[in-house]
Structure 1
């Protein structure tokens, strides 16, 4: 992991003059990941753990919601919806139980922020969950964790046990009158369960498939009761906002994209890892502090938010990595999964591998996604193998258009995004594969592989 040595309360945005690259980082969630036994309650308390909770419990729930709303915190799971507004949607006085569900089913290709956060600092999530439950008047919360990450599951169970033992969970928490239980649930490894309503179905014991909306989860979610579904990083960011103040949080980032966030830098870079920085930092700045691309190579294309976001090229190195900046460039910030690929990577091969993933993970509930992703894979495989014809490129775009915006959930949109964007920026590379030519990046045909004959680039 890569962390800044600056751990003060005053964060400085990337635009400030006279800063070295490493000073652009603002470690909050990752401030003590490298300490011995960082996951324990003792370590968390040593770093002001559960101080935000005490301030939250002294506030009225509606005032707490307004405080989080005024901070400008937006959901860190991909959509960027304002967190406080999401809490505000929960109806009050309805006589039903209210639930908080934390989406820890991190499975977007290239995304690796929530899992290391839970592994190194699980109590930040637990404290945030208690605060959120006080705000929405909930007495039962759930963590839906990706089941493959057994070490994280064990850490979470231990952190929840410590919280119960210390009186942060259970009955009458810190004398506030709040009763709260947290259940940690291990999912079965389906990508579709990252979609909030499919997650709720899975949590209820059914096959994970997206629900028809309305009704929305805020009205009829888990067990047909009002439910808030938030990402791990969204909830884990709340304690610092309560402890240090909403003005401190708003001092980072931009007006519409406030605060700090975790960027997952991976691919052909010298130092991949988690970089916690204000929203609005650029990929160029992140590469500067990480040592750049691997020696002797240059950036060819990258994803700003995982493989389901339209890819960008080296001409977008200075795009502000916030919700508005990336959208203006024609992509989405998503989960801030910055996958960087150099000039030895075949775009067609990379897009084919991503599309195979989406076809495999499609739940099959709607026809556009179920059938469309299958045919996209067939076409892409033919093109990559040199069996395609020029008309196949228009057919690819047409099938993607029949999926985009017409599928039951965002999985279809995610499958179409790399198709559209790669055809926009690298159509000539697709054309180079056609009419029997095959992949020009094949190790047997290309000198681009001379220095790395055994490397896999997809």
Structure 2
């Protein structure tokens, strides 16, 4: 950017913002004309290709289109227009009223109405209030927040500034994982640019309103995604949940009213304030308006970030956008909500993805993780995997989570290790119910969900493990055995590649595996040229 342009945009007011938008749009248009993967549709730029055509990208509208390190690109596509409108045309009560009417529900997992949370903070007349952006994205395989912070950081800054004006806060914090170095770098650049141009700091856009933002880096503790644990971490304490005596919108950071929303929630705010609550209510469902960003990963052909209207079916996401499983395999289940979510079987893929519908079938929306599993996945082992993660990430403050999840994990390891008994299934159900009902925070309260949902929908797999000592998916190593079929041509490759030397046979004769000595590494099956070695 030239020195002349820097001087022109420094200390922007509402009128100068409009002037900058016009010149910046012309420069952006010229640059985007050279790209073949972007199209201008109804005045808005959209990514092209079959992966995007069935999506409605609102939160992700600028991702991979603008330069996240150049505030002018964001302004060119309408950035900070909502903040300008709020500061010049609306009172804080009117902003909170519009947010309440939009029924934007928190995208961090719980789905609490954003407007209701803001209204609670607004009514407390105290000198200091805070806005906190929860960017502590810890779900395995999730990268929704990271993508927004890396590719469109100003949308989050603008949403936080609007929230600050609405509730009377002059300070905000973004709690972001230190493992996201690019997101941290782009946030630092965006905050510096916003301050330089009068979009953060004192007298924003020439008004009397002041608001600033600082970064706080998390160390990767999954429990710090919980609001009160996050607050404890910002205050310099160990990240452990507080007993819920007060809502954080009443007494949060340093005992002051604090609004905590996640990245995706804040990114929706400028759109709602710019286009109106009625527009937002026209997308999605009555109970869950708007869109939702999902991290579609696992055994699916087209993995990546997906944004669709609330109410879109799982079938449409997994097959319509994701393309289903790889050739030769069938999708078995999808897990929503990260390690706290339930596993949904294929026969329920007609379920709409919204808060109420997922709750009815024993799962949650969560922050937007969506892991696809196929017929090669063992659902008992999947439950063990997610519970292992939760045990590792438990802060240990409350007994049900600290001790109960460990006992559940031990039981699952016993089952997948071939030592399970029929009564272990009842133990898992009892432990799950107690942990869910008595844990202190959301981590413990939802820790048993993957186990309970798989027990409900895939009970036959558990029964096969404990009754027949077999794994129907042939995934649990302790329950596997390798067998050489009549297809064997006696090439001796399996015997030569076996690390345990447990395969015997003469050249051009069928070989035999000594199952007592077999370490079940699968090397024999990998080298067999005719597929004669099978798992059973």
Counterpart in the other structure of 2:79? 49
Post-superposition CA distance 1:155-195 (Å, at most 9, x none): 11111111111110111101221111101110111011000
Kept after mapping to 2: 8 A contact 1:384/1:438: no
1:66 aligns with 2:92: no
| 1:21-60 matches, cutoff 5 A | 23-35=53-65, 37-58=67-88, 59-60=90-91
Partner Cα separation in structure 1 for residue 252 and residue 124 of structure 2: 17
Q: Deviations over 1:411-438 (max 9, x none)?
A: 1122110111111111221122226825
The answer for the alignment partner of 1:416 in structure 2 is 448
Q: Distance in 1 between matches of 2:224 and 2:482?
A: 40
Quote the Cα distance in structure 2 between the aligned partners of 1:365 and 1:127: 36
CA RMSD of aligned residues (A): 2.3
Local SS of the residue matching 1:186:
strand
2:263 corresponds to: 232
TM-score normalised to structure 2 length: 0.78
What SS is found at the alignment partner of 1:209? coil
Taking the aligned partners of 2:273 and 2:155, their CA distance within structure 1 comes to: 12
| Counterparts of 2:75 and 2:273, CA distance in 1 | 15
Asked if 1:150 is matched to 2:210, the reply is: no
Q: CA 1:8–1:247 in structure 2 vs 1: closer, same or farther (change >3 Å)?
A: farther
Q: Which has the larger radius of gyration?
A: 2
Aligned residue number for residue 367 of structure 1: 399
Q: How many angstroms apart in 1 are the aligned matches of 2:225 and 2:405?
A: 18
Q: TM-score, normalised by structure 1?
A: 0.91
Name structure 2 gaps, 5 residues minimum.
1-36, 45-49, 484-521, 528-536
Q: Residue 365 of structure 2 is aligned with which of 333, 358, 372? A: 333
Structure 2 counterpart of 1:14: none
**Correspondence for 1:16:** none
Q: Distance in 1 between matches of 2:356 and 2:41?
A: 27
- The equivalent position to 2:300 in structure 1, one of 262, 269, 273, is 269
Gaps of 5+ in 1: 11-19
Secondary structure, aligned partner of 1:433: helix
Is 1:202 matched up with 2:233? Answer: yes
Match of 2:410 in 1: 378
Q: Deviations over 1:7-56 (max 9, x none)?
A: 5489xxxxxxxxx9954421122223223624431221121111111111
Higher relative contact order by CA 8 Å / sep ≥ 6: 1 or 2? 1
Would the aligned equivalents of 1:53 and 1:127 in 2 still touch at CA under 8 Å?
yes
Q: Offset at 1:5?
A: 6.2
Cα offsets for 1:85-129 (capped at 9, x unmatched): 110001546333000011000112333211111111111000101
Do residues 242 (structure 1) and 291 (structure 2) align? no
Distance change (3 Å), C-alpha of 1:7 and 1:88: farther
Alpha carbons 1:4, 1:26 under 8 Å: kept: no
The answer to whether the Cα contact below 8 Å between 2:339 and 2:389 also exists between their aligned partners in 1 is: no
The answer to whether the Cα contact below 8 Å between 1:368 and 1:402 also exists between their aligned partners in 2 is: yes
User: Helix, strand or coil for the counterpart of 1:339?
Assistant: strand
Q: Distance in 2 between matches of 1:125 and 1:222?
A: 20
Number of residues of Structure 1 aligned to a counterpart in Structure 2 = 441
How many Å apart are 1:404 and its aligned residue? 0.9
SS at match of 2:438: coil
